[in-house]
Homo-oligomer: A and B are copies of this chain.
Amino acid sequence: MTEDATTPIIPTALLEALCFDANGLVPAIAQQHDTGEVLMMAWMNREALAETLATGRVCYWSRSRNRLWRKGETSHQVQYLKELRIDCDGDTILLLVDQDGVACHTGRRACFYRAARDGALVEIAAPLIDPEKLYG
């Protein structure tokens, strides 16, 4: 791959430590930096990672749309990167972020709003914003 002067780059130490899967992707967990809440999990390719580091705004790779997904590009619920960490095997990224508004497309703060309790799935968080207002 050639890089021109305007292409964001990934620091060599990080790139060498990361293991992208057969599709060129690595899972990225987004955690609110101050409260510790796990907001969501999505995927990054090299381009999404490079852009995230260059801009400080989190960019994922959308597997369903097969293109870069700048978090908040439609909903305006942006994630600002505070710190990027990787795990011992280099096959998972942890993003410490500052989440504007809500992370979930359902209008909830976090995507993990269903808990398995007593054989049922229980909703443990309500939407804070009407999804119609985010995407309508």
- For A, the interface residue count at a CB cutoff of 8 angstroms equals 38
Report Cα–Cα, A53/B117, bound state, in Å. Answer: 10
Could you say which residues of chain B place their CB within 8 Å of the CB of A117?
Answer: 83
Report Cα–Cα, A121/B10, bound state, in Å. Answer: 12
| Contact A120-B31, Cβ < 8 Å, known A85-B115, A114-B85, A115-B85 | no
Cβ of A111 and Cβ of B88 under 8 Å apart?
Answer: yes
| Contact A40-B83, Cβ < 8 Å, known A11-B119, A17-B114, A17-B121 | no
Say how far A78's CB is from chain B's closest CB, in angstroms: 18
Could you say which residues of chain B place their CB within 8 Å of the CB of A134?
Answer: none
Contact mask for chain A residues 72-116; partner B; CB cutoff 8 A; 1 contact, 0 none: 000000000001111111001010000000001110100111111
